[in-house]
Structure 1
Amino acid sequence: MPPNPRPRPVRRLLAAALLATALLPAAPAAAAEHLRTVYGRPVPFGDGAAHTYARLRGDEPVEIGVALTRGSLTDLPTEPADGRHCYDRDGDGTVDPMHECAGGHEYALALPRALRDLPGMPLDFALLDWDPAGHGPPKVYDRPHLDVHFYLQSDAERQAIRPGPCGILIDCTDFATATRPLPPEYLPADYTDKGLAQVAMGNHLTDLTGEEWHGKGFTRTFVYGTYDARITFLEPMVTLAALQAAEGADPADACRPVKQPQAWQVPGWYPRAYCVRHSADSGEYTVSLEDFARHA
């Protein structure tokens, strides 16, 4: 099933996305010196478009994010999933889209070439998932939300993670590979493995100190993805309500820290914060990684 029943011409979407993103809030004048913004090609999303972008200062990343243009949060798909990643778990010959499909509605987004060419840039592409009914665990992440993945592995490697009856509809051999534990020095503080390995995605490590695990309700959180004892993606998760609430929110509340491991397996640039913002000028919503540090 296509992710949007009424796609618009890519050229028109690209022009609209570039115009909107050009109006993203400018950095202070002193910090903006030598700062440039680069863009990924947009894809249809709701009544707008989604695309990646990055702010660069020389060979250093300042901000890497996914932007949703004006209108993107309206007319979104309401089916639980787009049918790309399903498995007949009960063997009855039919697929229940609510319980036997995973991934919500999936949009692969290319990162800007200039970003991927930066020395020490470990990120390869972004994957945006719209989950209109949320997903498990029950009473934790079962609210309409966006999963914004920034992958260290290629899209081909990600899609090679097969469907099956284990975990979140993942092949059992791939489940075992996905849940191989990280060496302790690479495990971020407070994160644990609850066996949330998923087809075409990998395992999800969760921060059990997060408010969603303590009865306060899920609004946004940060997830580390793993596969074969390696960190493979960085994932801000944001509810639709929290994204909409960014309109008019206090800018001081935009960012939250990303908890760090003692060391990184792959040298390069990694974020110490993730942020959710809305631009009154462009009408765009952004989910971004920021405050980068380079690790040997």
Structure 2
Amino acid sequence: MKNLFRMPKKIIVLGSLFFLFSCSQDEMANNDAQESTSPALTAKMSSKKLNVFKGPQVALGYGKVRSWISVDQNGFPNEIGLEITPEAFKNLTADNAKTLPPEGETIVVPLQLKAKQLTPFDHIGLNWNPHGHEPEHVFDVPHFDIHFYMISAEEQMAIPAWSPSTDAAFNNYPPIGYMPADYFTPPGPATAEAQMGKHWLPVNLGAYLPFSKIMIYGSYNGKLIFVEPMITLDYLLSNTDFSMNYSQPEHFAKAGNYPTKYNIYHDAATGNTYVTLSEFVARN
């Protein structure tokens, strides 16, 4: 089996990430709490009596991307994800060094403190793949990888490249029941990536072809470490709304609030695109 993700991928920690860590936690909570997104989304949040907390903006293309989380009046998470301005999909050329990392490298999108407190996620890793990646005729179209990581950026960056000496860590899978039963990953280096981990695909992969959107899981050294909506540029530009439950593990290594649905939608008032996780369930 060909390697599905065989591209060198490094972490790009932008200035906004340093801004996040340089501010106190109280400052971040106060500055970003309940910041409005648009008239349309503000009305939506108000109707549900939700508070919105946002992370710092990160440059992409000619635009910006940032994380956000909405929280209900009882302090329970409602939705978490990315807000992407329409300009971010412009000037996505490989030679645009000012606003894009080299192909396949990762932009770290920080989470606001509230998101880290109420969910298992630590940060979001955004990868733009202008030529897609292997295997041919499956994922070889321009698309974004959006990793919701449950480990720190430092732990993520410490994941080595696959080699015979690191094979054991990549292929040390979570115990049975701690990954969805209808996902698989081949042994060896086929889906093992430095600074990412081992990628898991739905068993019924053919049902997602031709590829436009799919949910991927990831593990490393015995732990589930990310969930990853993978979405083509064409689908994001189509402004087509989408929402779908995705497969869940039977057991969870850490108690917390875990999402069960992923969503893609467009705000006509601003042109912003949203990729989010929602329908949280408290897990033991």
Against the structure 1 CA distance between its residues 109 and 30, is the aligned structure 2 distance closer, same or farther, given a 3 Å change threshold? closer
By how many angstroms is 1:122 displaced? 1.1
Instruction: Please provide the CA RMSD for this pair.
Output: 2.8
Query: Pairwise mapping of residues 276-287 of structure 1 onto structure 2 (< 5 A)?
Result: 276-287=264-275
Query: Pairwise mapping of residues 67-82 of structure 1 onto structure 2 (< 5 A)?
Result: 67-78=83-94, 82=101
Contact 2:200 2:217 in 1 (8 A): yes
The yes-or-no answer on 1:199 pairing with 2:188 is no
- SS of corresponding position for 2:169: helix
Against the structure 1 CA distance between its residues 30 and 285, is the aligned structure 2 distance closer, same or farther, given a 3 Å change threshold? closer
- SS of corresponding position for 1:25: helix
Residue identity matched to 1:287: V
Against the structure 1 CA distance between its residues 49 and 160, is the aligned structure 2 distance closer, same or farther, given a 3 Å change threshold? same
Contact 1:197 1:204 in 2 (8 A): yes
Contact 1:207 1:223 in 2 (8 A): yes
Query: Pairwise mapping of residues 1-296 of structure 1 onto structure 2 (< 5 A)?
Result: 21-23=37-39, 25-26=41-42, 32-33=48-49, 35-57=50-72, 58-78=74-94, 82-83=101-102, 104-118=104-118, 121-163=119-161, 170-194=162-186, 195-210=190-205, 213=206, 216-245=209-238, 247=239, 249=240, 251=241, 254-296=242-284
Residue identity matched to 2:170: A
Contact 1:65 1:286 in 2 (8 A): yes
Residue identity matched to 2:263: C
Residue identity matched to 1:117: Q
Contact 1:20 1:283 in 2 (8 A): no
- SS of corresponding position for 2:87: coil
CA distance in 1, matches of 2:255, 2:41: 31
Contact 1:66 1:148 in 2 (8 A): no
Against the structure 1 CA distance between its residues 228 and 27, is the aligned structure 2 distance closer, same or farther, given a 3 Å change threshold? farther
Contact 1:171 1:199 in 2 (8 A): no
Return 5+ residue gaps in structure 1 as ranges: 84-102, 164-169
CA distance in 2, matches of 1:283, 1:290: 21
By how many angstroms is 1:267 displaced? 1.2
Against the structure 1 CA distance between its residues 56 and 19, is the aligned structure 2 distance closer, same or farther, given a 3 Å change threshold? closer
By how many angstroms is 1:140 displaced? 1.3
Aligned to 1:93: none
Against the structure 1 CA distance between its residues 40 and 240, is the aligned structure 2 distance closer, same or farther, given a 3 Å change threshold? same
Residue identity matched to 1:182: P
Percent identity reads: 28
TM-score by length of 1: 0.77
Against the structure 1 CA distance between its residues 260 and 29, is the aligned structure 2 distance closer, same or farther, given a 3 Å change threshold? closer
CA distance in 1, matches of 2:210, 2:106: 24
Against the structure 1 CA distance between its residues 30 and 77, is the aligned structure 2 distance closer, same or farther, given a 3 Å change threshold? closer
TM-score by length of 2: 0.80
